Structure 1
Amino acid sequence: MSAFRFFIALLLFFAVKGTSRAQPKDTLNTKATQTQVDNKTVLKSISKSEKLRNKKIVSLSIILTIIVFLLFYFLYQNNKLKQKIKRKDTKQKILLDIINSGIDSQEAEHKKIASFLYDNINSLLSSAGLHLNTFTAQNNIKSDEIQKAKTILSEAHELLRDMSHDLVPSLLVRFGLIYSLEDLCEKNSNSAIEFEFSSSVPTSRRYAEKFEMKIYFIVSELFSNITKHSNAHKAKLTLNEKGNQLILRIHDNGVGFKTQKLKDVEGFGLNRIRARIKKYKGSLSIVSKENQGTKIKIEIPLPH
């Protein structure tokens, strides 16, 4: 009986001992498995992060590529626009040079013709009139034919003087721009339209001859446009100096026109006027409204 108990006790001892040895082994296996799971999770997370990072890099690369492309495109378009503007400016400069060259030649020719008419033809007419008067006085001739000849000579003399004045105004040469512009206002005034003149610049003020001629013909051209196209019954020319600028303002109460249609009226001598003003680095502004008249402002640097 005691031997049986000893045997049972021995079995229990080995059973407990085996259990105590097996338990750490199972724990190690569990820990190893958990570590593997954790490693897989980490690797999976790293892989996911890597994919996300790569995706962001690709997206950023695409965005940068688009930005660079757009930048080059805008630079190309900007350069293209600059070249277009440059070509346009060059064409405009060439056109202005051609117009100015034509104007200068025309004005020089006018001056030459006016001088020839005044110095030669005028002298011949005066001489012819003098001889005719002397002949009739010496021979005591009183005839309608002689009187008619005298009248024709007088009319020819007046016509010649007017032609010379139109080519190169004698008042402009003798008395200067301010006096001549005032006279121009008086000459253009009639029963249909009145031209007023106002100037803060003294009448005695003189500028370079070429400058005065340019300004005179600009105003004359504008007056002609007003008379022909504006249907105005009143216009005013104002003249003053500000700093080193000569400022002219012309205002009429005519029918006016839409400013956006200005290109349609460029033929009214405006190209020549613009060319004259540009030559002296001046500016021209035109403000007009239908049935509200037209305002013109010209600013030109004074010659030194």
Structure 2
Amino acid sequence: MTEEAQYEEIGILKEIAELLNEGTDTKTMLSDVLRRLLHITGLQTGWIFLIDDHGNHELTADFALPPALSLNQKERMCYGECWCVNKYNNQTLNKASNIIECKRIEDALGEGAGETCGLTHHATVPLRAGKERFGLLNVGSPNKKHFHKNELALLEAIAYQIGTALKRIKLTQREQETALVAERNRLARDLHDSVNQLLFSLSLTARAGEEMTDDEDVKQTFSYMQDLTQEALGEMRSLIWQLKPQGLENGLVSALKSYGEMLGLTIEAKVTGATSMPGKVEEAIWRIGQEAIANCKKHSGAKNVFLSLRASDNEVVLTIKDEGCGFHYNENLSIPSLGLKNMKARTEALNGLFRLRSQLGSGTQIKITIPL
């Protein structure tokens, strides 16, 4: 490699590093880096797959895909198998490599799915940081069927930079989640030690005031104060529970069952299967379960609630059902309450499926399915 080429390569790595250091949102960062990479290398098209521990790929960034690959909202890129992803999952793709042909393009040509604009081959590079792997960087140009050794070495260096940035973002998110849990715990302690104690003292004072007077109007006022403070204490206990669930260390179902009993409900629970869930999935199921059980208490009129948690290696399914008053619900219309909308949003944020069934007089069932 000439000295001029070495300086050019260093300049490319520097530009990419600056983009990666500034990035905090994964999709935006990868899109910006891919666009810049193609511009400074002269390549014309590319895409990035992030691949999870189960081998499922997600098209996270792409640039200038030919019509055959971008048809139907890039459906061909989002689903199905291909040689590079298979090699990645089989752990036979550990460095930058020339892929002889692109299976997705070959299938598109065979089906007459549209123009490929001369793109037939691509280089593929694993995104990694140390022993951690995150996905694949694929780049190509029309009529380019081979990548030289120096080109692959540069792509490999850039891919390693991307992998390091992805690890940084992952660690940052984990730190933020830990800080959020710590803040919730602190707030729960503060509420318990201050507001909760003040409400308890107010309840005792109201009871003493009622016993000290013979005036019926005053007695009624103190009695009303007691009722209000007891209601406020109940709401405060529920809020503290939501911030810092007691018993979550014993499992989700145990914690949800205890939460329901704290609200005065009888929870019939069933657990099928066992798996280790990511923290964000456990958090979502806990919050959704809380909201659903609280709705049973507030709206259904039922005292008994059925709760089921089914877990496997691929997904976790939570079902909460009551036989209360129910309500009229049409799947074609928008969800009627903020609480239900929040449950749906939490589920879909993790690529899950939210299902609600309810009829007047026939109770309500909420079922969420979240992939692992």
TM-score by length of 2: 0.37
Q: Which has the larger radius of gyration?
A: 1
**Which structure's residues are more often strand, by fraction?**
2
